[in-house]
């Protein structure tokens, strides 16, 4: 499971997720990419599920890049705990996704295989995505 090794503070505020991606919005490493067209939170479990689908559907040919890392802790209080008495325990780590961010990249596979792999992977991702080629991102 992806999570930070060490952080200065264990718990964070939720914060805002406004605007569009200014960085990480182009295909830099591979030939094809999966770009978010919506905003949301992408958890470490969802990233791992997506990675497994991509590995299976490409038959581990070519190379896969994961362009996101879950560094934001999400807390949740235990069930049946009364209001107050501080912030809950860390439940999971997420990455906040803005529209335009490239989530995954593939290289060394035919375009048809990459399209199908990213189509299947899109079902594991909690936001809308689209297939992009290197140099064609908007």
pLDDT of residue 138: 61
pLDDT of residue 93: 98
Domain spans, the chain: 43-78+88-133
For residue range 57-90, list pLDDT tens digits in order: 999 999 999 999 999 999 999 999 999 999 999 9
For residue range 94-118, list pLDDT tens digits in order: 999 999 999 999 999 999 999 999 9
* Record: fold of 43-78+88-133: Aldehyde Oxidoreductase; domain 3 (3.90.1170)
Instruction: Tell whether the torsion through CA atoms of 47, 52, 57 and 62 is positive or negative.
Output: positive
pLDDT of residue 1: 84
Look over the chain and give the mean of its residue pLDDT values, rounded to a whole number: 96
Contacts of 41 (CB under 8 A, 6+ apart): 17, 72, 74, 94, 95, 96, 97, 126
For residues 131 and 138, give the distance between their C-alpha atoms in angstroms, rounded to a whole number: 11
């Amino acid at each position: 499971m992806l999570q930070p090794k060490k952080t200065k503070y264990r718990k964070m505020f939720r914060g805002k997720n406004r605007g569009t991606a200014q960085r990480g919005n182009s295909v830099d490493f591979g030939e094809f990419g999966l770009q978010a067209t919506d905003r949301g939170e992408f958890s470490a479990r969802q990233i791992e599920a997506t990675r497994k689908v991509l590995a299976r559907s490409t038959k581990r040919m070519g190379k896969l890049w994961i362009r996101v890392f879950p560094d934001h802790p999400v807390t949740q209080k235990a069930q049946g705990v009364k209001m107050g008495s501080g912030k809950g325990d860390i439940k999971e780590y997420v990455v906040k996704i803005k529209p335009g961010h490239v989530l995954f990249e593939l290289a060394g596979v035919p375009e048809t295989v990459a399209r199908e792999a990213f189509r299947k992977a899109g079902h594991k991702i909690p936001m809308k995505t689209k297939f992009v080629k290197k140099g064609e991102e908007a």
